[in-house]
A and B are shown apart, each in its own frame.
Chain A
């Protein structure tokens, strides 16, 4: 009987989740990174054209692999990326902000690195 009550508890949790499910646009906070991506995408869209950008996270993703793939290539292909950091004119570092400013605590810091030639 106790096992049945435990099942009933979890079944009610399922129905509660169905009941409280909201539309995609309303639940951006529930999907974690999506709102961050969208916010950072807005910042990327404001970047001046004519530059070749290299994007990375100095703490966890120094070569920019994760962010290149997840953020830029998937949804914001208009941002011109350099093939390597040496080929870039601007380095974009994605940094965590201790005060939670920027995009859910992430900020993009642009640093000109000059003409690689």
Chain B
């Protein structure tokens, strides 16, 4: 228990100041801090293995540099660190309540054990990052390590390993689960903030609808939130990113938090890298005229760089036999069937909700705020499912076994996006017409 609390506190503390500087308010910074802390720990983990230096000094140096830069930015901008500031037009106590409700599904961490793959793939590699330096490099390159997929993206094992090393390396499985749960909570909080951003600023119904939506989105399987796997994290982060980036946004500042979420998705799993890349390309296309926003393209480049670095350290993967007796078409057909079987209960109401918003002219005008969000969510569904079906169709494993052991977790992003469609339509339907909320300058209570 102490290992878990220590790991979460270190993650939060490391990311807090940079998160406040990036999001420009303390309460939103609290929500994003674990993701930022996870990204800083990832940079530290990679730097440690690449340079041969121990992980804790690397982490300390990176946190100090990021914190000092953030502090200068906070002072220059005059960002308020007082809790009385409103968040997106809502009082801080309401947002704290939302944060507490979002933690409810994660209470399962107290009972869920670490999963099979979570242990052999993610937590096992976290021990290498906790060791750091040349010994970690040896572990990555050892042929007997091939089962642990050393070439997979670094965020989860690096964050868990570096944070665990910082807390004195207690039980690493427990630290890994706690870090994963904190990152998932943060991704859920970002998703909730992005759903709220769909509505009119300050509209009272949106925090409640957004919170209910995020809670509903976790119905893909609450155990997966806290069993140490990477799938829930990248999926929720990718949906938050898609919802924030694939809509027209007035201010460049609106892109910062979803861009962070996108980076987390891409650095967490290969599926996240593929989905995040499609989202970024779509976002640049949507914001094509704003050339100053093309910096988004740096996200997949940086993530692919991290993935290539991991690959360069990893031992050659064991050869995997191809099953030539199945055609690509047969495999794709089986994959589509299995994906639909997982998604059908949320896809049906999401399709009805989308049809209402997009095809009924009166509703399209009245629920204008939902139109862009619904299209963005469908963008995420496509961005996550196309690479997935392609992988199942062209991949090496026997397709029935592969689908049976993975399809319920590889489709989480699409599942969450479909639930969010229902949520934004519910939110738009409840939003009462009224004057726009006051601007940020008059929001300090």
Contacts and interface: CB of A to CB of B under 8 A. Distances in A.
A21 interface: yes
Contacts of B120: 74
B138 interface: no
B115 A7 contact: no
A40 B187 CA distance: 38
A13 B219 contact: yes
Contacts of B425: 3
Contact of A14 (B218, B320, B405, B422): B218
Contact of B223 (A21, A37, A63): A21
B421 to A, nearest CB: 9
A78 interface: no
A46 B152 CA distance: 35
A23 B116 CA distance: 14
Contact of A17 (B217, B223, B319, B400): B223
Contacts of A6: 349, 422, 426
A6 B347 CA distance: 12
Nearest to B356: A3
A14 B111 contact: no
A2 B321 CA distance: 49
A112 B212 CA distance: 60
A65 B318 contact: yes
Interface string B95-119: 0000000001101100111111000
Q: Interface majority SS on A: helix, strand, loop or mixed?
A: helix
B111 A63 contact: no
Contacts of B423: 3, 7
B398 A7 contact: no
Most interface-central of B107, B216, B423 (chain A CB within 10 A) = B216
B444 interface: no
Contacts of A29: none
B401 to A, nearest CB: 6
A43 to B, nearest CB: 18
Interface string A51-71: 000000000111101100100
B439 to A, nearest CB: 30
A14 B115 CA distance: 19
A7 B147 contact: no
B146 to A, nearest CB: 8
Contacts of B319: 65
Interface in B284-323: 318-321, 323
Q: Interface majority SS on B: helix, strand, loop or mixed?
A: helix
A22 interface: yes
Interface residues of B, number: 45
A66 B397 CA distance: 8
A18 B208 CA distance: 20
Given A4-B209, A65-B318, A31 B216 contact: no
A98 to B, nearest CB: 17
A38 to B, nearest CB: 10
A14 B222 contact: yes
B278 to A, nearest CB: 26
Contacts of B362: none
Interface string B333-369: 0000000000000100100010000000000000000
Given A3-B349, A24-B112, A32-B405, A63 B321 contact: yes
Given A18-B222, A65-B320, A34 B422 contact: no
B112 A21 contact: yes
Nearest to B421: A3
A7 B216 contact: yes
Nearest to B106: A18
Nearest to B398: A60
Nearest to B217: A10
A73 interface: yes
B61 interface: no
Interface of B: 104-105, 107-108, 111-116, 120, 144, 147, 209, 212-213, 215-219, 221-223, 318-321, 323, 346, 349, 353, 397-398, 400-401, 404-405, 419, 422-423, 425-426, 429-430
Interface of A: 1, 3-4, 6-11, 13-15, 17-18, 21-25, 27, 30-34, 37, 60-63, 65-66, 69, 73-74
Give the 8 A-B CB pairs with smallest separation, nearest first: A24-B113, A10-B216, A3-B426, A17-B222, A13-B219, A11-B215, A60-B398, A11-B216
7 contacts: A3-B425, A3-B426, A11-B216, A18-B105, A23-B113, A27-B223, A66-B397
Given A17-B219, A31-B115, A74-B120, 14 more contacts: A3-B425, A11-B215, A11-B219, A14-B218, A15-B105, A17-B108, A17-B222, A21-B108, A37-B116, A60-B398, A60-B401, A65-B319, A66-B397, A69-B147
